[in-house]
Amino acid sequence: MGKIESSIATISRWMARIGGIGLLGSAVLISIEVCLRSLGVGGLSVGAELASYALALGATWSLAYVVFERGHVRVDVVVMRLSPLWRSILDIVALASLAGVGFALSYGGLGVFETSLRLDAHSNTTLGMPLVLPQGAWLFGLCWFTLVAFVRTLQAATFLVRGDHSHIARIAGTPSADDEIEDVIHDTQGRMIGQE
């Protein structure tokens, strides 16, 4: 993995972790609110709002990481029976489709963000949150996902021109059981080395 690719993968991994922490934090906050209400103590009544922001952040900030992990759901019953060339072409089409969907979502998200910015929109809740804050984080996640999917598409297309179908399968194909076992072994070895 090259330096740029490694940096993009690291940023994507950390974004997914931050999104996950946000989801866990919102679950804890909602649990506290429910407990306070059941005890008759007034709730904070901000949990649902913050949870919705955390859900948007967690979803969009994890998308790029899923591209690197090849975790997007695909049904490849027929694809696995094709020649390496056709598998590579369909893998690139799948990545390009992700980039296209990401672009459409980012474009739409930019319109939402610009409208909130222009109107100085705030949430109609006790927090009165300026909507550009959560929408900006959400939009950043969408744009990052689009960029990563586009970069991976270009990488795969470059390998297609070179005729390197095995590398395309490693970055864009559906992981096989052997790939997943190899990843687990690699991760475990990395953890064991870190413990020494």
| Rounded to 5°, angle at Cα 78 from 161 and 94 | 45
Q: Tell me, what amino acid is at 134?
A: P
Please report how the helices 84-119 and 165-172 are oriented relative to each other, as an axis angle in degrees rounded to 10: 40
Within 10 angstroms of residue 22's Cβ, the number of other Cβ atoms is 20
pLDDT bucket at 43, cuts 50 / 70 / 90: low
24: pLDDT strictly greater than 60: yes
Top-confidence residue, 90 or 175 = 90
pLDDT bucket at 60, cuts 50 / 70 / 90: very high
Q: Tell me, what amino acid is at 184?
A: V
Predicted pLDDT of residue 195 = 64
Which of 4-8, 16-20, 34-38, 174-178 shows the lowest mean pLDDT across its residues?
A: 174-178
In order of 16, 42, 140, 141, 148, the CA distances from 103 in angstroms are: 19, 43, 12, 12, 11
DSSP conformational letter for 122: B
Tokens of 78: 């027929």
In order of 47, 89, 117, the CA distances from 52 in angstroms are: 9, 38, 19
Give me Rg for the CA atoms of the chain: 21
Predicted pLDDT of residue 108 = 97
Q: What does the longest C-alpha to C-alpha distance in the chain come to?
A: 68
Taking the domains of the chain in order of start, what are their residue ranges?
3-195
Spatial contact of 128 and 154, defined as CB atoms under 8 Å apart:
no
Predicted pLDDT of residue 1 = 64
| Rounded to 5°, angle at Cα 65 from 6 and 193 | 55
Query: What is the C-alpha to C-alpha distance for residues 143 and 147, in angstroms, rounded to an integer?
Result: 6
Average pLDDT (9-23) is: 94
14: pLDDT strictly greater than 90: yes
The sign of the torsion formed by the CA atoms of 170, 172, 173, 179 equals: positive
196: pLDDT strictly greater than 60: no
Predicted pLDDT of residue 39 = 87
DSSP conformational letter for 42: P
